[in-house]
Amino acid sequence: MTTFGEKQSRDYDQRATRLLGGLYRRIAADIDAAAHPGAGVLDVGTGPGKMLALLYSRRPDLRLHGVDLSSHMIDLADAALSGSPAELSVGDVAALPYPDDSFDLVVSSLSMHEWPEIDRAIAELARVSRPGGTVAIYDFRFTRSAAAQRALRHSFEAVTVRREPVRPRWHPIGMYLRLTARAA
């Protein structure tokens, strides 16, 4: 398991600002369209919190939470979200620091490929999702999405798990995918 240290987190923050704005805008727009007023949203592996900061500027009504294994990433996310009521925590996707049924929407971007135990991680996403809640995982297209899809079907008892290509505006090639499932 990689833990982002201080320098690695700072470097990632700078690269993310330059390269990932289109993906963050796309994810924030997807959440904006799906979330009811005041909905609780958890971003797992939030990194430097760029997507949450963008989401806050679009939807200040949402209850935003971010969790990440790296305390350095959480420090950066704290800075990106200063002035917002977003709550940020250091924690592992395999043992999320939230009670059952906490969130309407659980999202994650570019983090799943780093999770060593995909079944356990996805069982945790299901545990913290409210009945009827949605999970949306965005990651690189070449990640182990078949295992993740199986785990989503199992953990959410989801009727449908969708796997779709994601191509943010201006991106020349489709590098990303989105897996979505709705909790029973």
Contact residues for ligand SAM, defined by CB under 6 A: 4, 16, 20, 45-47, 50-51, 68-70, 73, 92-94, 109-111, 114-115
CB 157 within 8 A of CB 133: no
Residue among 87 and 157 whose Cβ is closer to ligand SAM: 87
Residue among 37 and 65 whose Cβ is closer to ligand SAM: 65
Phi-psi region of 47 (alpha: psi -120 to 50; beta: other; left: phi over 0): left
Residue among 34 and 94 whose Cβ is closer to ligand SAM: 94
Which of helix, strand or coil describes residue 55? helix
Residue among 40 and 45 whose Cβ is closer to ligand SAM: 45
CB 159 within 8 A of CB 48: no
For the bound state, the minimum distance from the C-beta of residue 63 to ligand SAM, rounded and expressed in Å, comes to: 18
For the bound state, the minimum distance from the C-beta of residue 45 to ligand SAM, rounded and expressed in Å, comes to: 3
For the bound state, the minimum distance from the C-beta of residue 40 to ligand SAM, rounded and expressed in Å, comes to: 18
- What does the DSSP assignment read for 140-158? ETTS-HHHHHHHHHHHH--
Residue among 50 and 182 whose Cβ is closer to ligand SAM: 50
Instruction: For CA atoms 143, 65, 119, 137, give the dihedral sign.
Output: negative
Among 182, 62, 65, 66, smallest CA distance to 133 is for 182
Q: Which residue is nearest to ligand SAM (CB)?
A: 47
Q: CA 24, CA 137: separation in Å to the nearest integer?
A: 13
For the bound state, the minimum distance from the C-beta of residue 21 to ligand SAM, rounded and expressed in Å, comes to: 10
For the bound state, the minimum distance from the C-beta of residue 140 to ligand SAM, rounded and expressed in Å, comes to: 10
